[in-house]
Amino acid sequence: NNPPCCSGYVCEGVYCAVDV
**CA neighbours closer than 13 Å in the CB half-sphere of residue 1:** 3
Cα separation, 15 vs 13, in Å, equals 6
Q: How far apart are the first and last CA of the chain?
A: 24
Kindly report, residue by residue over 1-20, the tens digit of the pLDDT: 667 887 888 887 888 888 77
Please name the residue ranges forming H helices in 1-20: none
**pTM for the structure as a whole:** 0.19
Residue 17's pLDDT is what? 86
Cβ atoms of 16 and 5 closer than 8 Å: yes
Cα separation, 1 vs 20, in Å, equals 24
Residue 10's pLDDT is what? 85
